[in-house]
Structure 1
């Protein structure tokens, strides 16, 4: 995704390249609906399992257009990764109203899908 693509259309993954972009996306999700689910993929360019999960994450974004899907490169956005104590890649966080509700660490498609569906039901 190009850096010039700011707010992406529903059903797509939004890459975060600045703290401003991060704030805009989180604030927008929380202001439209405090129970809106935001799923964050903490990734790295050098991470093989991250590359395996990227198309799966993109497919989930298409299947769940009412969920906000964000992608954060831990090397580019260290402060965000540190804020959420991300230590392994990929790490997926499920956030509602600014609170982390769940996480998946590692390239485990089944667990990612299961927890996404669980969070959608709550």
Structure 2
């Protein structure tokens, strides 16, 4: 699958909408990192997101520059960078703001990437 093991940059609405349709189809968690080119904390977290993408190949990782896709920023309620949102089935299930706790970002990814199967 395209993007497996890597972070996909969403630079236009077409790419964003395509990726948003892929998550529910594949039943995968989507982790979106919202960044800004002038944000030093964002630059610190970029390699962390790259590492997570390589580790969690069952997760779709996206990067959105807040200055490039303002409608997405507004729709997702992002008001600071870096912000990471976790989406399942087209809805936000969790959010993480900041760069100081990269271990927490990994733990949230692990938690939400785990698929729980109900036994009948």
Please report how far the alpha carbon of residue 110 of structure 1 lies from its aligned counterpart in structure 2 after TM superposition: 1.5
Out of 100, 106, 113, the position equivalent to 2:98 is 106
In the other structure, the counterpart of 1:3 is: none
List gaps (5 residues or longer) in structure 1: 1-6
Query: After the TM superposition, which segments of 4 or more aligned residues of structure 1 sit over 4 Å from their partners?
Result: none
Larger radius of gyration: 2
**Greater displacement, 24-33 / 78-87:** 24-33
Task: Find the residue that maps to 2:104 and give its secondary structure.
Answer: helix
Q: Distance in 2 between matches of 1:61 and 1:116?
A: 10
TM-score, normalized by length of structure 1?
Answer: 0.89
Q: Distance in 2 between matches of 1:71 and 1:48?
A: 15
Deviations 1:62-114 (A, max 9, x none): 00011000000000111101101101100000000011110100002011011
> What is the root-mean-square deviation in Å for CA atoms of aligned residues?
1.2
Instruction: Work out the number of aligned pairs and report it.
Output: 114
List gaps (5 residues or longer) in structure 2: 116-120
